[in-house]
Amino acid sequence: MSNAEKDARLACSRLSIDLGALAHNWTYLASKAGTAECGAAIKGDGYGTGLAKAAQALFTAGCRTFFTAVPEEGLEARAAAPEARVFVLGGLLPDAAHLYHQAGLIPVLNCVAEIRDWAAYCASIDTPLPAAIHLDTGMNRMGLTPDEAKALSADTNLLGRFEPVLMMSHLYCGGDPDTAVSARQLQRFKDMTALFPGVPRSLANSAGIFLGPDYHFDVVRPGISLYGGAAMDDGENPMKPVATAEARILMLRDGFKGETIGYGASQTLTRDSRIAILGIGYADGYHRLAGTGGPQGPANAWINGHTVSLLGRVSMDLIAVDVTDVPEDACKRGDWVEMFGPHISVDEVAAKALTIGYELLTGLGRRYRRSYINAPQDNTAR
């Protein structure tokens, strides 16, 4: 018996990452972006799918610009795709400019202090290194204010010490196609970037791509859509699912009408029931509110062609599901149950847990037995 087969025997939960679907999603988004370059956000460990594997698959698909959140992610992306540009969205950490330079990382400069530090370092080595400049268009999180941007544009001495290669901002209501917030952000972005003529611009995240060409500019940087999640608040999600989370049935038991199930006695059985106990829980990133105790009611799971509902609260390591209506030969000890994937979307489960697909994906725990399928064969990033 191989080590892989032994691992499979010992796994209570497993996670399958479809790298072919990831590549397909990037190609689809690139086609929607028109003439803009399509980059990729691979922060949060590639939205839970594994940063290095995601970067390699995306590079093979044609992606040449990656966005990470922190320098450690940038180093991993650089190793996985050495020919790509790697931006660090979290900015320039103090006293670390030389480390960014040595690693070939491009900082996204989010405040005046970071700009001064990067400019000073570039001056010290007499080399105008590349950087992106983040503009705050209304989110009040990171980026230069309009007054700071105006002052910077007039400071040719400071700007001349480094090479601005991207002016960027971030949509914060992009998932709502009818909101006026994004339209206001778009105008602010145009006004602020007009101060820096000739520098490429980037505003669109996944949602921004679907808002249309006015938001595309020179570079788009999709995130959640790459990994199969829904970027827009309404309408059909055109993206292919990338991550499939499954749990093994550890045992089957009978429950009787009037009995309660799980912590807090949050659910009372209304009929005699057949119950499957699954080897997964909130320690694996499956949210507690997805169970019966949540205000939206229980999430669904899928087993061998049948949709089933969770029973009771989600525990740290265990979940109960109602398999009363599933034929016995389709629901046996050791069978695998899809918690989310092609039949139960990650966004559907997230909605039951009063959260978003981003949080479920990036919170995937370490106990899953991971496997990667449909990896591109001609991987030039290696």
Q: Which amino acid is at 220?
A: V
Tell me if residue 43 is catalytic: yes
**Whole-Å CA distances, 231 to 4, 68, 163, 185, 299:** 35, 19, 32, 18, 21
* Mean pLDDT calculated for residue range 24-49: 98
Please write down the long-range contacts of 232-240, taking CB distance under 8 Å and 24 or more positions apart.
232/175, 232/176, 232/177, 232/207, 233/175, 233/176, 234/177, 237/345, 237/347, 238/28, 239/25, 239/28, 240/18, 240/21, 240/24, 240/25
35 and 105 belong to one structural domain: yes
Identify the pLDDT of residue 6: 56
Confidence class of residue 382 from pLDDT cuts 50, 70 and 90? Answer: very low
Which residue range forms the structural domain that includes residue 269? 244-363
- Number of folded domains that form the chain: 2
38 and 123 belong to one structural domain: yes
33 and 158 belong to one structural domain: yes
Q: Which amino acid is at 143?
A: G
Neighbour tally for 370: CB within 10 Å: 16
39 and 114 belong to one structural domain: yes
pLDDT > 90 in the chain, percent:
93
pLDDT in tens, 90-148: 999 999 999 999 999 999 999 999 999 999 999 999 999 999 999 999 999 999 999 99
Strand (E) or helix (H) holding 255: strand 243-255
Identify the pLDDT of residue 221: 98
Handedness of CA 89, 95, 160, 152 (dihedral sign): positive
Identify the pLDDT of residue 379: 42
163 and 210 belong to one structural domain: yes
Q: What is the pTM of this model?
A: 0.94
204 and 282 belong to one structural domain: no
pLDDT in tens, 43-88: 999 999 999 999 999 999 999 999 999 999 999 999 999 999 999 9
Q: Name the residue with tokens 């496997």.
A: 371
pLDDT in tens, 189-199: 999 999 999 99
pLDDT in tens, 295-313: 788 999 999 999 999 999 9
**Catalytic pick from 28, 32, 43, 352?**
43
- pLDDT of 381 strictly over 50: no
Assign residue 91 the CATH number of its domain: 3.20.20.10
pLDDT in tens, 247-284: 999 999 999 999 999 999 989 999 999 999 999 999 99
Identify the pLDDT of residue 179: 83
CA-CA distance, 322 to 299, in Å (whole number)? 11
Confidence class of residue 293 from pLDDT cuts 50, 70 and 90? Answer: low
* Mean pLDDT calculated for residue range 332-356: 97
Assign residue 308 the CATH number of its domain: 2.40.37.10
214 and 257 belong to one structural domain: no
What SS3 state is found at 290? helix
DSSP secondary structure code for residue 305 in this structure? T
DSSP secondary structure code for residue 46 in this structure? H
What SS3 state is found at 15? strand
